[in-house]
Structure 1
Amino acid sequence: MIPDAGLDDAALLEAVQRAHFSYFWDHAHPVSHLARDRSTRDVVTIGGTGMGLMCHIIAAERGWLPRAAVVDRLSRMLAFLEQAERRNGHWGHFHDGATGRIVPFSARDDGADLVETAFLAAGLLCLRQYFNAPGDAALRDAADRLWRGIRWDAHLQPGDPALYWHWSPRHGFAMRHRVTGWNECLITYVLAVASPSHPVPENCYHQGWTDSPVFRNGAVHHGYDLPLGPPMGGPLFFSHYSFLGLDPRGLADRYADYWRQNLHHTLINRAHCIANPQGHAGYGPDCWGLTASDTPGGYTAHSPLNDLGVITPTAALSAMPYVPDLSLRALRHLLTNHPQVWGEWGFRDAFCPGTGWVAEATLAIDQGPIVIMIENHRTGLIWSLLMSAPEIGDALARLGFAPPPPVLTA
């Protein structure tokens, strides 16, 4: 049932979180209980499952389900992940939810996916930190065992400090996809340095991650300076995926103040939709948000430089910690003016306000951030869990992160 847009803020956010969590509980794969990639296909997604782990924590904390039921479900998920096909401890992008076999993403992408594994690992660490009761020992141990089994250093090549995204037993590193920034992959480098069992050296971050023509920005867009990233900031998932667990409040290094980076990226994205240089019908102060999602012609990464007239609800809603008033206005606008976008598990993936097109599917990697980032706005729960992991604090210190200037608000 679609929430009443007239609810007070707390009740409305609770209703929206619970609806989107239902994707990970009610629509989970019936054998593995991992997150289906999208509502219209059966394959499970490793990155989306990592987000799903965080959502299960929120469900337990808020009492949406009995804690014992959540622990039982998570135990089954981790048991499946432990027996699933892996390469050097890494999972693939997609897996068969019944057998655990890797499902090729493309012809040569049929093995380990470093970044999807990182999103899962962040969820595993949050789970380990949260379930700390004596009776949770088996669940904690399984999460820690999976985390320690990831060989981050296996995704390095001689003479190159950058991590490589894909490795295949048939094709090796033939895809040649170096993980360099600025994008959604900051968490990958933090976790790779943080690993207690198979770490990479700190210079991978300073010489590999930063080795990109679109790492530094420094320009002013719509009146907001942007330290990092491509012109106009790129799709908004850059400010969401790594920061589901990494707390941007107080996170800064020699390259950026990450609260400022994410706040300004969000405001630039919204300002573009208000300016609306291409004249897309329906855009405005309360109808904004360009990020990766479905379109009438397929999946693409929407941004100010790739604006196809498609609004993706997760973009504005997952920006809740950065611009809570603006995100709440966008949420109420969607519920009031575009109720057709609400589906069985919360908002569908995307819509064109000017044409009436609405995506058929919902996607795990878009549903999850809505639940998590609203919770981080409300309580900071997932931020506090990942940042409490001693490996993360140690890695950030060794990488040179220090407190930034005072937090900005919109």
Structure 2
Amino acid sequence: MNKYEIVAKEAKGCFDFFWKEANTDPESPGYGLILDQSANKKVASIASVGFGLSAIIIGIEKGWITYEQGYERTRGTLHTFLHNVEHEGGFFYHFLNMETAKKNEEFYDCASIIDTSLFLNGAITSAEYFGGEIKELFEQIYQRVDWNMYYDKEKNQFYMGYRPETGGFGHWDMYAEQMMQYILGVASPTHAVPVEIYQGFERRLGKYGEYEFYNCPGGSLFTHQYSHAWFSFEGYVDGDGIDWFENSVKASLANRKYCIDNPDGLKTFHKDSWGLTACATPKGYGTPGTPPYHPNVQKENDGTVAPAGAAGSIVFTKEESIDAMNYFYNHHPKLWGEYGFQDAYNLDVSPEWYADHVIGIDKGITLLMIENEQTGLIWDLYMKNEHVKRGVSMLNWKKKN
């Protein structure tokens, strides 16, 4: 198989996760919910559903499912979110019971702004692709979201979480994966936050090797990918002149360089085994990452690499990402499963460790970025949305000359 075939093979595996690991009972309150991960058949995540809604569109365009199948699943999913999924002020709980659509008590997190935003991103692509009733359902869901509930006026920042018992907590005070929240929040036709919120988070330039870029505190690669899965930052600069697409290119290359440099001499890291990002690890879910770290962050990588790290950067580092995917496939057969690449692996523990499951958001970032690199489909749909256009204009993001 030539080196590009693995990309198509992985994309189909990713799609199969979202299509098969969903609640498909039309009589269930949780119809359309998608598992957080394949290892736990009871817990859905709303972020997984967001990626899954865009995956349905890709599946239709690839001929993996029919238009009618995709339409019905999407319509039912949005109906579930409008009427059944537990929420606070329109913000959905991160983890849900697959059957009841109520917050999952075992993994009780919070009504989540970032995960609601990921869901809304997927719903926006559905609205633009299908139109009609699906667009109407999306509008009702979006207009219900009270962005001000998550806005700390004193700090001019979004809260990271919200619990009805205690209110908002934590703050999106530094650059990370939250860029989508500013677009969605300022553009809301019903509960908009002030445009000034975009100036509320810190941009901290750092350098690794020859790469100078804005990194999140812990350097996990997903932070440079998630908003980019839907919004096409390429060709735009923000009001401060920052090119966030180019920033993610540098972050991806720096992530790879760190694995080449391999300062701790780990077995897993090298030029084709890179992509340190949030993933399963031998000790549970973790957030591997690479420098430049923020001064208050102490980071110790254990050798865990997730295929989604490199694959999710394919729009930034095409050849390097494809080389990594081929290395994972050709040299680590234990890393391949029913849904393509398993979540992660680590050669620096004894015995060598391979995840036995996949995680929805890792399959999602892989699939969407592969499609964007090949056709730009998800970018094109998202960028056509009237709310997205309005948000871009209000934030004063400009197309580069």
Is the TM value for this pair above 0.5?
A: yes
In 2 relative to 1, CA 104–152 (structure 1 residues): closer, same or farther, beyond 3 Å? farther
In 2 relative to 1, CA 38–250 (structure 1 residues): closer, same or farther, beyond 3 Å? same
Letter in structure 2 aligned against 1:286: D
Q: Aligned-pair distance for 1:248? A: 1.9
Q: Which residue of 2 aligns with 1:364?
A: 360
Letter in structure 2 aligned against 1:241: Y
1:183-202 counterparts in 2 under 5 A?
183-202=176-195
In 2 relative to 1, CA 106–70 (structure 1 residues): closer, same or farther, beyond 3 Å? closer
Indicate conservation of the 8 Å contact 1:266/1:319, yes or no: yes
Indicate conservation of the 8 Å contact 2:3/2:326, yes or no: no
1:288 pairs, out of 274, 286, 309, with 274
Indicate conservation of the 8 Å contact 2:268/2:305, yes or no: no
Indicate conservation of the 8 Å contact 2:114/2:178, yes or no: yes
* More deviation, 357-366/143-152: 143-152
1:180 pairs, out of 156, 159, 173, with 173
2:215 pairs, out of 215, 220, 229, with 229
Distance 1:401 1:12 in 2: 36
Distance 1:328 1:34 in 2: 31
**Cα displacement string for residues 269-321 of structure 1 (whole angstroms, at most 9, x for unaligned residues):** 00000000111113211111100011111111101244210010000011111
Q: Which residue of 2 aligns with 1:167?
A: 162
Name the count of aligned residue pairs.
383
Letter in structure 1 aligned against 2:144: G
Q: Choose between structure 1 and 2: higher strand proportion.
A: 2
Q: Aligned-pair distance for 1:60? A: 1.2
Indicate conservation of the 8 Å contact 2:307/2:344, yes or no: yes
1:131-142 counterparts in 2 under 5 A?
131-132=130-131, 137-142=132-137
Q: Aligned-pair distance for 1:8? A: 5.6
Indicate conservation of the 8 Å contact 2:346/2:353, yes or no: yes
Q: Which residue of 1 aligns with 2:207?
A: 220
Q: Aligned-pair distance for 1:376? A: 0.5
Q: Aligned-pair distance for 1:381? A: 0.8
Letter in structure 2 aligned against 1:283: F
Q: Which residue of 1 aligns with 2:97?
A: 96
Q: Which residue of 2 aligns with 1:408?
A: none
Paired residue secondary structure (1:38): coil
Q: Aligned-pair distance for 1:127? A: 0.8
Indicate conservation of the 8 Å contact 2:229/2:368, yes or no: yes
Paired residue secondary structure (1:167): strand
Indicate conservation of the 8 Å contact 2:56/2:70, yes or no: yes
**Is residue 146 from structure 1 mapped to residue 141 from structure 2 by the alignment?**
yes
**Cα displacement string for residues 77-121 of structure 1 (whole angstroms, at most 9, x for unaligned residues):** 1111112211111101111121111124767x44x2111101111
Distance 2:170 2:370 in 1: 32
Q: Which residue of 2 aligns with 1:331?
A: 325
**Is residue 266 from structure 1 mapped to residue 265 from structure 2 by the alignment?**
no
1:9-408 counterparts in 2 under 5 A?
9=4, 11-31=5-25, 32-41=31-40, 42-83=42-83, 84-104=85-105, 109-110=109-110, 112-132=111-131, 137-173=132-168, 176-206=169-199, 208=200, 210=201, 212=202, 215-217=203-205, 219-226=206-213, 228-230=214-216, 234-253=219-238, 254=240, 256-304=242-290, 305-355=299-349, 356-404=352-400
CA RMSD of the aligned region, Å? Answer: 1.7
Q: Could you list the structure 1 runs, at least 4 aligned residues long, displaced by more than 6 angstroms after superposition.
A: none
Question: Where does structure 1 lack aligned partners over 5 or more consecutive residues?
Answer: 1-5, 406-410
Letter in structure 2 aligned against 1:316: A
Paired residue secondary structure (1:165): strand
Distance 1:260 1:140 in 2: 32
**Cα displacement string for residues 157-210 of structure 1 (whole angstroms, at most 9, x for unaligned residues):** 34331111222222222xx2112221111111211112122111101111x2x2
Distance 2:353 2:192 in 1: 46
Structure 1-normalised TM-score? 0.89
